[in-house]
C-alpha cells in the first residue's frame, strides 16, 4: 500500500498527499485479482470511502450486497462491517480512503536543548 491521499469529487479522484502528521486520514490504491475476496472488517472510528477506478466489485456492507462498477463511489460509515470481492473478469483497481473526523486520541510534542 502506498502513502497517498486523494480527494474524491463525483466520479473523479485527485491525488494530493497523505496526512502523516495527525492521522486523520490515510489513502491507498488496491488491486484485486479476479475472484479474490477481502476478509470482513470494520473501523470503529474511521469512515472508509472507495472509488472504483476499473473493474466490477461486489460490496457487502452491513449485511447488504451490491455490484459496483468502474467510476462508482462507495462510503462505509465508521463501525459498519464491510468486505468486497472482484466479481469481474479483469483485475479491479480501487482507491481507498479512511477518514477519522475525531482526530487522534493523543499527541506528543518533543523539545530538546543542546549544550554548546
β-pairing, 56-61 with 82-86? antiparallel
Assigned superfamily of 6-99: Jelly Rolls (2.60.120.10)
CA 49 to chain centre: 5
pTM value > 0.85: no
In whole angstroms, give the CA distance from residue 58 to residue 101.
27
What is the tens place of the pLDDT at every residue in 10-52? 555 544 445 455 556 677 889 999 999 999 999 888 889 999 9
- Continuous H helices in the chain: none
What is the tens place of the pLDDT at every residue in 70-98? 999 999 999 999 999 999 999 999 998 88
Q: 90 vs 27, 40, 66, CA distance in Å?
A: 23, 22, 18
Amino acid at each position: 500500500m502506498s502513502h497517498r491521499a486523494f480527494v474524491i469529487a463525483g466520479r473523479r479522484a485527485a491525488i494530493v498527499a497523505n496526512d502523516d502528521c495527525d492521522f486523520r486520514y490515510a489513502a491507498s490504491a488496491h488491486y484485486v485479482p479476479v475472484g479474490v475476496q477481502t476478509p470482513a472488517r470494520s473501523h470503529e472510528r474511521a469512515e472508509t470511502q472507495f472509488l472504483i477506478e476499473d473493474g466490477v466489485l461486489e460490496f457487502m456492507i452491513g449485511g447488504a450486497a451490491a455490484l459496483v462498477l468502474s467510476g462508482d463511489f462507495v462510503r462505509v460509515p465508521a463501525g459498519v462491517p464491510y468486505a468486497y470481492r472482484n466479481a469481474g473478469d479483469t483485475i479491479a483497481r480501487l482507491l481507498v480512503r479512511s477518514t477519522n473526523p475525531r482526530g487522534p486520541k493523543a499527541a506528543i510534542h518533543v523539545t530538546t536543548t543542546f549544550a554548546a
